[in-house]
A and B are shown apart, each in its own frame.
Chain A
Amino acid sequence: MEGDIKTIGAAIAIGLGAIGPGLAIGQLAGKAMEALGRNPEAAGEIRQNMVLALVFAEAIAIYALVIAALLIFVA
């Protein structure tokens, strides 16, 4: 019973935690594509900065994943 609640908690943690980063990554990639269309010469610079920013957005999802993993493996 207790394990079931933990599993649900972990699922909610990663499920809700993935929404924000998902939106952020979409927004980021969309804006990068827009910038690429306007200024194709700056492709290298745009890609580099986009990937760096993607990693930051992704890290938020990873925090949620850590909480989910903590719930399942430790708590």
Chain B
Amino acid sequence: MSRPVILVVLIGIIVSILGGAIGNAFGLGFLGSPIAHIQLPAEPVFPKPFIDTGSGLIGDITITNTMVASWITIVILAAVTFTVNRKIREVPGRIQGLAEVTFEFLLGLARNIAGDNARRFFPLAMTIFLFILVNNWIGILPGFGTIGWVESPEKVVHHAEVKAEKDHGHVNLDTVHLQVFEGTGPIVLLPPGSIDNHMKVSQGYYLTDDGGLKDVPEGQYLDDHGHLKDIPEGQYLDDHGHLKDIPEGENKENWYGYERKVSKETPNLLIKSQTPGLLIPYLRSANSDLNTPLALALVAMVMIHWWAFSTLGVFGHLGKFINFKQGPIMFVVGILEIIGELARIVSFTFRLFGNIFAGEMLLIVMAFLLPVIGIIPFLGMELFVGFMQATVFAVLTLLFGSMAVASHDEH
């Protein structure tokens, strides 16, 4: 590399470190955004469920952000397919040429794995490959996970309570964190340079005896036992909820609300144009929701067994699993095969879900530590992981398919 390139890369890394969480420790952190709220289940795009079944067994049907992301993928794939298919010529144009090269390459790969059955398995394997690939790749576009609506503190605490109720515990308000957003409205995003825009629910809200959530009124505070008390004259609450004396000579009017001073020096400031809450993104990588990989795995396994049944016949295929003819050892082997089939679904699901969810978490943490510039190599790595997981899912579908259609006597 030439010297100017090295210099630019070096400056980029230094800026990224100083602008991020590490720089924040020295009063910098001009690029950093707060560490986003990591949540395992997909979040609903609309606050209310789409269909309220009222049944505990099925649950409500909500439109989640991962669903929206996978619909976008479907639209993209359908649009590309339609464009290619509209004008098929003998001498291919650019788009048709790209599609043909891709398909021929992948069909060759499929032939290596599945042999004569490749043409039969290819449509499903290719669909799975493209669906997962596009899902993974659009999942790291900007806007995924960063633009959304704000869930109110009451709702956040309500969810924490529901979770605590399942665990037979109590909500510790100190552990419930909120982010602070500029302005209100249906679309918000986390602005850069806002690393410290976090507050604890206990700083501004308290639980009433009947389980409701109320604002701590101005001029009052919560003591250690959870009782409301007036803030004594000449004192204020700091960020940790401790009473402190207002320094001599400061104007009392500058100390806004329960505990915050309107000043740039105080990290946890909340002025009147800001809203506390949690960001619920409109879009999120579809495979970071366990349901999408599970659905794909079920489709793949059902089709694999369908192929096996149509090739070997019902008894031919069932005979692999329930086997009385060849003695007790083969019977146990058959039982193990059943367990193996179930384990395949689980490993299919968790391999894809784990990789993509871990990737999302990695990107969130890296965006916190090394924002804007330092995160670029990790984005590249996520592109590679997304491609590899799509390949692995498709290759395994082909492999399991060709194993399933092989009759038992052959091997």
Contact = CB atoms under 8 A, between A and B. Distances in A.
Interface of A: 2-3, 51-52, 55-56, 58-59, 62-63, 65-66, 69-70, 73-74
B33 interface: no
A59 B395 contact: no
11 contacts: A51-B388, A52-B391, A59-B355, A59-B392, A62-B350, A62-B355, A63-B350, A63-B351, A66-B353, A66-B354, A73-B39
Contact of A62 (B41, B175, B354): B354
Contacts of A66: 350, 353-354, 357-358
Nearest to A75: B167
A73 B220 CA distance: 33
Contacts of A51: 388
Question: Main SS of the interface on chain A?
Answer: helix
B38 interface: yes
B388 A74 contact: no
Nearest to B169: A2
Contacts of A52: 391-392, 395
Nearest to A54: B388
Interface of B: 38-41, 169, 175, 347, 350-351, 353-355, 357-358, 361, 388-389, 391-392, 395
A59 B351 contact: yes
Contacts of B355: 58-59, 62
Contacts of A70: 40
B40 A69 contact: yes
A52 B361 CA distance: 23
Given A69-B40, A69-B361, A70-B40, A55 B389 contact: yes
Given A59-B392, A63-B354, A74-B41, 14 more contacts: A52-B395, A59-B347, A59-B351, A59-B355, A62-B350, A63-B351, A65-B354, A66-B354, A69-B40, A69-B357, A73-B38, A73-B39, A73-B40, A74-B40
